[in-house]
Structures are given as C-alpha cells and as structure tokens.
Structure 1
C-alpha cells in the first residue's frame, strides 16, 4: 500500500514537470513581442550617426534593419556609447549589439559573437587624383599620420617609400591634410567619414586600405538559436551581395571576404 502510494506520487510529480512549458529563449521573445531591440551607435559615422533629418543612419543601422526585416519583426534602435554597448546586452536592455564591435578574447568571455558583418578599415585617404593602385604608388607621397597609431605602424610596413609626416593627435593630422601641408593622410574610416560629413564638397576618397579589423554582432551568452539565426541572415546577405552594397555605400569599399 505504501509502495503503491509512493509510486503514484512520484508519477504525479514527474507529470507536473512535464506539463511546464520550456522557458522561452531570446528568439522566441523577439518574435512574440514583434520587436528586436538593437544597441547601435549614433555618434560614430559611418557606422552610426544622426542625419540632417534627425534619423539614425549608417552601416550598423542598416544591418540592424536588415536583420529585423529578415526576422519579420520591427526594429527598436537603442543608442549606446562604446563603454555601455556590451553592458546593455548583458543586462537585457537589448537583444543584439551592432556597434562597430570588434571581437576580442576579453569580450568573448562576456558575450557571444556572430560571424563578421562589416570590415573596419585603416586606410590612406586623399584627393581623387592621382590614383593609387598599389602601395608602391605611395612612394614619395607626403602622408600625414598620428604618431604611434596603428596607421603609423602600417605605413612603415607597407609603404616604406612614402614621406610620412607624424603629428601628435588626430586633429593635427587632419589639419595637415585640410591645409595642403600633406597630400594624403592615414586614419580609420570613421575619421574620414566624419570629415566628409562636415565637408561634403571636399575632394577626398579612400586611396588604399592598410588593414581590416572586422565588426561582429554581439549576442548574449547562451542564446544559441538567436545567434544561429543572425549568422544565417549575415551569410545570405554576403552571398547576395547586400553586405558589399552596404559597405560600398558607407565605407567606400566592398565588405570583401569577411571571416566566419
């Protein structure tokens, strides 16, 4: 009698657990609320800034909208700064972080990363003429650069024949180019984009790429289904040429062969 009672009670206890539905993950919640919350920059062109119409625009903004469109949900753009873009994801304030985020060992302990969606170029910029096809075309050209920067090191390695003018800060480097003191300057694409935005009539283009440190979508730890879905969307955009189109529009060069 006692044994029969214990068995019946145990079966009832197990059945009560079976009746409890599995906890919804981030992807389920996004679909259920019909909105995906994405942390984006609004102070870092060309990845994210506020346009003349007071609407956010940029590479990261368009990728956030692309992912929302492919998921069939609305997008809620959540402005963040570099220091809080990971924290917003960790504390559940956003579902994704798309904010020119590079993948590092330290960050990988806190969040997961998608495959790369965008290049992040260090490059040489200058007037449209003369053309630059190869690093050897920089021989004898006067190029301004910030002393000790990554671009300074890259110029030394890739264009040893260039005449490099070194300045103590980015503002002085840009001023040298704007005043005609140098023919070209080396910087990251966000710096050049900000110059273009402030001086739309300036005769300037990306001459040659020095380095590429790709950007990744940040996803909260353990959200495997959401991560897989984001990767699926990025791969499809790579295959269709959509990422190349967006990169050309915002960064001045195709996305190219981005790492998985």
Structure 2
C-alpha cells in the first residue's frame, strides 16, 4: 500500500515539474494496474448538477454521473471512493491526481484536451440561454447590456464571455447556487443546461424561464490524467460495451427521460 501511494505522489510531482518546463514521465503512469491491485477506484463527480449528480431525499449521492461511477467500479471489481467536487475543481482534480477518473458532465473541448485526457463520449447535454418570457433574446448580441448568470468554469461561462462582450456576467461557483439565485429572483436571464433549467422551473412554477436559444450540444467525456493509456483504453471499451448492450442508455434515460444519441460513441473527440 505504501509503495502505491509513493508512486502516485511521485507521478503527481512529475506532472508539476512538467508544467514548469521540466521533463515529466507520463508514459510510466498506470493507474489501472494500481486500481486492480488495490481494488479501489477514486472517481470524482461534480455535485449539485440536476440529473447528473445531486443528493436524493435521503441525502445520498445519485444521478446519471454517480450511477455511471458505480457501474464502472463494479466492472473493475473495485470499491468506489466517490470524490465530490465543484464544477470549477474538475480539471484541477484530474491534473493533480486527486482522483483516478472524473465523471463530471465535462464537455470535451480542445482547450481541456491540452491539459487532461478524455475518453470517447459517454453522454451529452444541451447548453442554452433561458430567461423570463418578457425578455426579447434570440442570439448573443441580444445579451449586450443585460445581466446574465452562469456557473463559473463551464463552457457556458466561456461562450457567453466570448460571444456577448458587453453583457454583465454574474458567476456562481456551482449550479446549486445559480439555481438559488434564479429561484430567489436575483436573475431573470441565465446560460445553463436543460437539466438545470428544469430544476429552476420546478422551483418557480408560476414564473418559469423560457429557452431563448440553444448555444451548443456538448459531448461529455470521462476525464483522466495525461499518460494513463491503459486506463483510457479500458474506459473506452467499457463505454462501447455498455452503450451497445443498452445498459448505459437505460441508466441515462432513468434520470434524463431521453435516449442517448444513436451515434454517441462514434462522435469525433
């Protein structure tokens, strides 16, 4: 056990030296071997995201990302250590190896792929701009001069920042606090995802927000540190098998009430 922890510590240190311009050793990383030897896997999830990762009535973690993590741990024959984090901590958690895998509704983007590795897509989500019916918003230029809420360090944050210069952007640390701001009447306009919007409208049924426009459909990938090729290959095989058998779609539909796209695992990553 001590040997495993020391090896992981050394790898984390090597990653840090690499960031400073020195030589890192990603090819020597093999978390899959560690997981199988120790029969324990650390999987991070971004909590507070409706339908993906949230607390149920009994204050137990649930949602499609949480259940996906449980399925993977079972397939690995390993005990699951669920590492609960915020949206903003997703990429840093992977980079610093505080988890072996991240299943945190994280969109696959070129910028993120420079810092961490992704599997093939395991799910999708639509990001949208929504607001009260009285607001005339149909595209990004209509956001200029308006106050809009976003969750920090998300694709929504990036897209609004880049495409609606002149908008007043109010950033929140996670979806839960964004939802609270909308429900309490602090915001009339948000950039979020459809699952979060559904939660907002459920809590304010007499003053619902309408979808103004769809910003983008995002492919979500499981994330892992650079250089973990055996673990990445194992996860890709698991996703393909679970998708083709229908297990992944059945579980996802249980929470989202929709099917995964038929071309999901073949999408360019």
Q: TM-score, normalised by structure 2?
A: 0.62
Q: Which structure 2 segments of 5+ residues have no match? A: 1-26, 150-177, 184-189
What residue in structure 1 maps to residue 86 of structure 2?
81
Instruction: Tell whether 2:40 aligns with 1:54.
Output: no
Q: Deviation per CA, 1:166-198, whole angstroms, max 9, x where unpaired?
A: x844689x77xxxxxxxxx99622323423664
Query: Cα distance, 1:255 vs. partner?
Result: 0.9
What residue in structure 2 maps to residue 36 of structure 1?
41
What residue in structure 1 maps to residue 248 of structure 2?
243
Equivalent pairs, count: 203
Structure 2: distance between partners of 1:251 and 1:41: 17
What residue in structure 2 maps to residue 180 of structure 1?
none
Between stretches 36-45 and 224-233, larger displacement belongs to: 36-45
Query: Cα distance, 1:78 vs. partner?
Result: 0.3
Contact 2:28-2:227 within 8 A present in 1 as well: no
Query: Cα distance, 1:251 vs. partner?
Result: 2.1
Q: TM-score, normalised by structure 1?
A: 0.64
Structure 2: distance between partners of 1:234 and 1:56: 22
Q: Which has the larger radius of gyration?
A: 1
Structure 1: distance between partners of 2:79 and 2:222: 18
Structure 1: distance between partners of 2:135 and 2:70: 35
What residue in structure 2 maps to residue 117 of structure 1?
122
Q: What SS does the aligned partner of 1:244 have?
A: helix
What residue in structure 2 maps to residue 10 of structure 1?
none
Q: Deviation per CA, 1:219-256, whole angstroms, max 9, x where unpaired?
A: 11010000000000100111011222223222221111
